[in-house]
């Protein structure tokens, strides 16, 4: 069924209006009863104002900084210009997520290839891989903090453990499930092992990896935020954790909204990249209406 | 001394291990010679090991017994003189039609720009001049086969191996593809081994039609010379009286094997 674009937009906006309206009425006590007390639920307008304030304050602080703006200090949490601004929190979470994604993907691709091409290695490590994958990664966070400190690397490590397994399993599958006909054809065309790798295994594995791009990017950010939440001096997770520590529900919701908007933005970027890289893929059956 | 045949299979056995540990003997004692510029069609009931025999000639499969000689030399590894057109789609889905064809040349060390130019020539030759930028899923089954054919022929192999190449296509497209193949083949008459289950297609295209018995332990049980004049039109040749005589003679032999393959169900 194909829905008109404007109709969809109107319906989507309606959901937001109903939800925010209920929240507003409940918290403001418009009809005499306050079924959503502000102390526990805050109020939509307060949250909106807080978000605007955070961005205005942050921007003003950077713009009116008396010291010379030095971008090399942009990640230092005690910097006079950037320290504790919302921009710095966003930047730090982005960098942690990006590093977790890149390092996790690289390691996942290499290990996936190695395991797929060497069945003995795969068989030997199989129970250990399964064991680590079954482990809830949150329990590793304190250990990473012990090893790597409270800076960005303990968050990168946590994100890494999440991204690595997704990419690893997908690449492993992708290399092993190359169509035998395509492989036979490539060999009959005279491809050497190296050429097979470049023209057959590699694109096949990448296509599997890209099909899980949304999941792995999402997990990279989850790793970063959870890591920040458990112990850090900056980042969106830190922002939410600090607000919670002072029963500042408005601050918690403001942090959550910023985080959600940030994830939506990253997801949109991933979709752009995906459309560019997977042009050769037939559209999924569910989209062929 | 006469030139050795391009392909010579001598008493070839092919066996596959079964999960139960037993050995399944697909082909038994098959001998076949294909001369240069000869178009040989191999016909047999379903599951008789026609493709298996072709894979032996390609070097994709090692016979359990017997020998495979290419130009009089025993075949070791893959057959480097052969181009293979598969029954299933074998194009790389992540490359465009043009890149798929060009890749066949690039593998051999041809510079990329030259390979792409020559690929465009072949696209035109198979009637897909303006389809070079399409990916496999954007092409119809017949168009994909044309790209596959161009991909195989651009390397100018001495031997063309075809495994039911037009099998998945509809009847009209098959005849059009048959004519395309005949035209391309007429240009420089390569040795062709063409596997099909369609006897009419075999007679329309080939110089010789070889009949295989029903498997397991399939053997070659017939070898018929097709004396229809060339150049032929794969569609019109079917209307000639001589075509019907040949068809009747060969079908008589093939029918018994087809019935066997279905366990007598269709009597």
* B119 shares a domain with B27: no
- Dump pLDDT digits (tens) for B28-81: 888 999 998 899 999 988 777 888 999 999 999 999 999 999 998 999 999 999
pLDDT confidence of residue B48 = 77
**Chain A contacts of B82, Cβ < 8 Å?**
188
Closest chain B residue to the Cα of A202, Cα to Cα: B94
Total domains, chain B:
2
Residue A86 contacts residue A229 (beta carbons within 8 Å)? no
* B32 shares a domain with B19: yes
Residue A210 contacts residue A114 (beta carbons within 8 Å)? no
Between A126 and B261, residue with greater pLDDT: A126
The confidence band for A1, taking pLDDT boundaries of 50, 70 and 90, is low
Residue A2 within any structural domain of the chain: yes
Match 């829905």 to its residue by tokens: A3
Q: If you ran DSSP here, which 8-state letter would residue A115 be given? A: H
* B209 shares a domain with B238: yes
Torsions phi, psi for B167 (to 5 deg): -55, -50
* A133 shares a domain with A6: no
* B176 shares a domain with B67: yes
In which domain, by residue range, is B93 found?
89-156
**What residues have CB less than 8 Å from A132, skipping those under 6 apart?**
A161, A165
* B254 shares a domain with B174: yes
Residues B204/B3/B13/A181 CA torsion (nearest 10 deg): -60
**Chain A contacts of B60, Cβ < 8 Å?**
184, 187-188
**Chain A contacts of B157, Cβ < 8 Å?**
none
Residue B264 confidence (pLDDT) above 80:
no
Half-sphere exposure in the Cβ direction for B76 (13 Å, CA): 1
Q: Which residues pair with B10 in a beta bridge?
A: B67
Residue A288 within any structural domain of the chain: no
Is B88 at the interface with chain A, CB within 8 A? yes
Task: Report the run of H or E that residue B9 belongs to, with start and end.
Answer: strand B7-17
Q: Read off the CATH number of the domain in which B197 is found.
A: 3.40.50.300
Total domains, chain A:
2
Torsions phi, psi for A247 (to 5 deg): 55, 30
3-class secondary structure for A212-276? CHHHHHHHHHHHHHHHHHHCCCCCHHHHHHHHHHCCCHHHHHHHHHHHHHHHHHHHHHHHHHHHH
| Angstrom distance (rounded) from CA A239 to CA A243 | 6
% pLDDT > 90, chain A: 62
**Distance of residue A113 Cα from the nearest chain B Cα, in angstroms:** 19
Q: Which of B111, B139, B156 marks a domain boundary?
A: B156
* A132 shares a domain with A16: no
- Dump pLDDT digits (tens) for A154-181: 999 999 999 999 999 999 988 888 889 9
Q: Is the CB of B90 less than 8 angstroms away from the CB of A181?
A: yes
Half-sphere exposure in the Cβ direction for A193 (13 Å, CA): 1
| Angstrom distance (rounded) from CA A203 to CA B96 | 13
Q: How far is CA A41 from the centre of its chain?
A: 26
| Angstrom distance (rounded) from CA B196 to CA B218 | 15
**Chain B contacts of A282, Cβ < 8 Å?**
137
Q: For CA atoms A79, A81, A87, A91, give the dihedral sign.
A: negative
**Chain A contacts of B88, Cβ < 8 Å?**
179, 181
* A227 shares a domain with A145: yes
Residue A278 contacts residue B134 (beta carbons within 8 Å)? no
Q: Is the CB of A189 less than 8 angstroms away from the CB of B137?
A: no
- The stretch A139-159 carries a mean pLDDT of 93
Q: How far is CA A9 from the centre of its chain?
A: 25
* B56 shares a domain with B118: no
* A144 shares a domain with A35: no
* B37 shares a domain with B71: yes
Q: Is the CB of B58 less than 8 angstroms away from the CB of A188?
A: yes
Q: Which two tokens stand for residue A23?
A: 């929240």
Q: How far is CA A147 from CA A100, A103, A155, A165, A231, in A?
A: 17, 18, 11, 21, 13
Q: Which of B156, B182, B208 marks a domain boundary?
A: B156
Q: If you ran DSSP here, which 8-state letter would residue B67 be given? A: E
In which domain, by residue range, is A3 found?
1-41
Residue A287 within any structural domain of the chain: no
* A84 shares a domain with A28: no
Residue A289 within any structural domain of the chain: no
Listed residue (A233, A257, A222, A237) closest to A42, CA to CA: A257
| Angstrom distance (rounded) from CA A284 to CA B7 | 44
Q: Which of A50-54, A174-178, B14-18 has the highest mean pLDDT?
A: A50-54
* A262 shares a domain with A168: yes
Query: What DSSP string runs through B68-88?
Result: EEETTEE--SS-TTEEEE-SS
* B175 shares a domain with B244: yes
Residue B89 confidence (pLDDT) above 90:
no
* B127 shares a domain with B21: no
* A172 shares a domain with A31: no
* B163 shares a domain with B75: yes
Closest chain A residue to the Cα of B60, Cα to Cα: A184
* A92 shares a domain with A25: no
pLDDT confidence of residue A284 = 64
Residue A286 within any structural domain of the chain: no
* B77 shares a domain with B107: no
* B174 shares a domain with B262: yes
Residue A147 within any structural domain of the chain: yes
Q: Which residues pair with A99 in a beta bridge?
A: none
- Dump pLDDT digits (tens) for B120-162: 999 999 999 999 999 999 999 899 999 999 999 999 999 999 9
pLDDT confidence of residue A289 = 36
Is B103 at the interface with chain A, CB within 8 A? yes
Residue A72 within any structural domain of the chain: yes
Q: For CA atoms A79, A80, A86, A87, give the dihedral sign.
A: negative
Q: Read off the CATH number of the domain in which A62 is found.
A: 1.10.3720.10
Residue B72 contacts residue B83 (beta carbons within 8 Å)? no
Q: Which of B104, B125, B156 marks a domain boundary?
A: B156
Residue A227 within any structural domain of the chain: yes
First to last CA, chain B: 49
């Amino acid at each position: 069924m194909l829905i008109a674009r404007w109709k969809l937009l109107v319906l989507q906006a309606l959901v937001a209006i109903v939800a925010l309206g209920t929240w507003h009425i409940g918290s403001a006590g418009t009809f005499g009863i306050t079924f959503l007390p502000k102390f526990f639920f805050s109020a939509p307008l307060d949250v909106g104002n807080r978000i605007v304030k955070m961005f205005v304050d942050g921007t003003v602080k950077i713009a009116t900084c008396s010291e010379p703006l030095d971008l090399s200090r942009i990640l230092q949490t005690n910097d006079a210009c950037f320290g504790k601004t919302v921009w710095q929190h966003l930047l730090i979470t982005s960098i942690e997520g990006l590093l977790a994604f890149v390092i996790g993907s690289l390691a996942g691709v290499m290990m996936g290839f190695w395991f797929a091409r060497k069945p003995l290695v795969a068989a030997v490590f199989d129970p250990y891989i399964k064991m680590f994958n079954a482990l809830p990664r949150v329990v590793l966070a304190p250990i990473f903090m012990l090893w790597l400190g409270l800076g960005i690397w303990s968050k990168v490590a946590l994100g890494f453990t999440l991204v690595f397994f997704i990419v690893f399993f997908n690449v492993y599958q992708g290399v092993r499930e190359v169509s035998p006909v395509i492989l036979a054809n490539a060999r009959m065309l005279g491809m050497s092992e190296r050429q097979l790798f470049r023209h057959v295994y590699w694109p096949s594995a990448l296509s599997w990896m890209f099909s899980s791009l949304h999941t792995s990017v999402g997990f990279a950010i989850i790793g970063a935020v959870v890591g920040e939440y458990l112990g850090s001096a900056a980042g969106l997770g830190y922002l939410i954790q600090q607000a919670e520590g002072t029963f500042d529900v408005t601050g918690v919701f403001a942090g959550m909204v910023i985080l959600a908007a940030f994830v939506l933005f990253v997801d949109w970027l991933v979709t752009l990249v995906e459309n560019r890289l997977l042009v050769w893929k037939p559209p999924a059956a569910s989209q062929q209406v | 001394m006469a030139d050795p045949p391009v392909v010579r299979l001598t008493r070839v056995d092919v066996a596959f291990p079964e999960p139960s540990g037993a050995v399944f003997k697909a082909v038994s004692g098959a001998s076949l010679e294909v001369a240069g510029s000869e178009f040989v069609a191999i016909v047999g009931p379903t599951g008789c090991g026609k493709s298996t025999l072709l894979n032996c000639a390609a070097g994709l499969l090692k016979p359990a017994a017997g020998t495979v000689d290419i130009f009089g030399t025993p075949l070791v590894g893959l057959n480097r003189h052969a181009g293979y057109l598969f029954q299933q789609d074998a194009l790389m889905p992540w490359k465009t039609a043009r890149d798929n064809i060009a890749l066949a040349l690039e593998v051999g060390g041809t510079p990329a720009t030259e390979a792409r130019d020559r690929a465009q020539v072949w696209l035109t030759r198979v009637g897909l001049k303006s389809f070079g930028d399409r990916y496999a899923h954007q092409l119809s089954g017949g168009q994909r086969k044309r790209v596959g054919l161009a991909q195989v022929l651009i390397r100018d192999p001495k031997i063309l191996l075809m495994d039911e190449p037009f099998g998945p296509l509809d009847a009209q497209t098959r005849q059009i593809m048959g004519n395309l193949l005949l035209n391309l083949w007429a240009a420089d008459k390569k040795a062709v081994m063409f596997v099909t289950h369609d006897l009419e297609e075999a007679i329309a295209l080939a110089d010789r039609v070889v009949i295989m018995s029903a498997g397991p332990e399939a053997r070659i049980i017939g070898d018929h010379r097709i004396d229809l004049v060339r150049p032929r039109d794969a569609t019109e040749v079917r209307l000639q009286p001589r075509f019907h005589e040949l068809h009747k003679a060969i079908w008589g032999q093939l029918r018994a094997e087809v019935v066997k393959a279905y366990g007598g169900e269709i009597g």
